[in-house]
């Protein structure tokens, strides 16, 4: 990696169960092209973050849920990306996020393709990622066969790593997704990506 780009690295903490993480993910290719800096991807379990911080999903607050539905549709239209609210939401994403952690640890080059498949299955053409057979089929789209995927997400080291990384997120002040860090400066939400760009430029 070019040293100038390396000094501008930043983190993106996400969970495929977060619709706003999906919007950030779909915004990322243009953002990387513009800034010349790709993020370090940091999967976490958003449900664990919510439990630890006392935060709640927008769908648990009726007025916010109505607003978020319109807001997400506007963002999707602006980016020209498919978006449909997942009818199985809220979906337990522990399986998908264990898969993400396993790849981060063992095959980080494969993680973006995996996240593409999982995000699209969650918010582009929604399906029930809490169903093991459906989850395995989506993982197969990312090139991971069913037996390999089942072993990955049941690996105690992977389970511990997801728990540990989620605890790290909480310790650093994360309360939702997506969350960006440039150094120790934290930026929450896909609508704060311009601030991330400014922070990267300042470094």
Q: What tens digit of pLDDT does each residue of 140-183 get?
A: 999 999 999 999 999 999 999 999 999 999 999 999 999 999 99
According to the model, what pLDDT value does residue 8 have? 53
Phi, psi (5° rounding) for residue 178?
Answer: -85, 150
Is the pLDDT at 4 greater than 90? The verdict is no
CA distance 70 to 59: 13
Across the chain, mean pLDDT equals 94
The pairing of beta strand 39-43 with beta strand 10-14: parallel
pLDDT band at residue 59 using 50, 70 and 90 as cut-offs: confident
**Owner of token pair 């630890």:** 52
pTM to 2 decimals? Answer: 0.94
Q: Which domains does the chain have, with CATH numbers?
A: 3-202 (3.40.30.10)
Q: Judge whether 72 and 19 are in contact, CB under 8 Å.
A: yes
């Amino acid at each position: 990696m070019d040293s100038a780009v390396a000094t501008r690295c930043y983190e993106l903490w996400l969970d495929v169960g977060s619709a706003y993480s999906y919007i950030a993910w779909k915004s990322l290719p243009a953002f990387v092209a513009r800034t010349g800096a790709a993020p370090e991807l940091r999967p976490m379990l958003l449900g664990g973050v919510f439990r630890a911080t006392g935060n709640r999903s927008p769908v648990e607050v009726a007025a916010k849920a109505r607003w978020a539905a319109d807001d997400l549709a506007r963002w999707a239209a602006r980016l020209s990306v498919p978006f449909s609210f997942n009818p199985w939401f809220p979906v337990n994403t522990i399986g998908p996020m264990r898969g993400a952690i396993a790849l981060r640890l063992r095959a980080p080059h494969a993680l973006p393709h995996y996240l593409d498949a999982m995000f699209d299955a969650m918010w582009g053409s929604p399906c029930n990622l809490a169903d093991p057979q459906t989850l395995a089929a989506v993982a197969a789209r990312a090139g991971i066969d069913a037996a390999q995927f089942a072993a990955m997400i049941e690996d105690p080291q992977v389970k511990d790593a997801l728990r540990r990384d989620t605890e790290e997120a909480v310790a650093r002040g994360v309360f939702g997704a997506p969350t960006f860090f440039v150094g120790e400066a934290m930026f929450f939400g896909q609508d704060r990506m311009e601030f991330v760009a400014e922070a990267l430029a300042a470094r």
